[in-house]
């Protein structure tokens, strides 16, 4: 049985700025590769608006920032309730 496509919308409330949790928690629930890829594209577009000439003060581009944030957050995220 094929998984049904879920479209997890990045920034579903269309806020100007998001907390890390608002940006990253929805991504932690994604289980479909296509959904994850689209979410990441939208997150990169969102991040680009905060960069000067496409580069952060630390020299990273939007995709590098997004990859770093997703990886870091995933390391601390859990769906288990204790």
**Residue extents of the structural domains in the chain:** 32-71
Per-residue model confidence (pLDDT) at position 1: 43
**Confidence tier at 50 by pLDDT (50, 70, 90):** very high
Q: Over 60: is that where the pLDDT of 3 sits? A: no
Mean pLDDT score of the chain, rounded to an integer? 91
**19-26: Cβ within 8 A, 24+ apart:** 20/69, 20/73, 23/69, 24/69, 24/70, 24/73, 24/77, 25/73, 25/77
């Amino acid at each position: 049985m094929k998984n049904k496509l879920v479209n997890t919308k990045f920034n579903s409330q269309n806020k100007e700025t998001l907390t890390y949790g608002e940006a990253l928690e929805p991504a932690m629930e994604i289980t479909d590769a296509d959904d994850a890829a689209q979410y990441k594209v939208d997150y990169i577009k969102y991040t680009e608006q905060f960069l000067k000439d496409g580069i952060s003060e630390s020299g990273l581009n939007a995709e590098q920032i997004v990859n770093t944030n997703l990886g870091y957050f995933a390391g601390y995220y859990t769906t288990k309730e204790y």
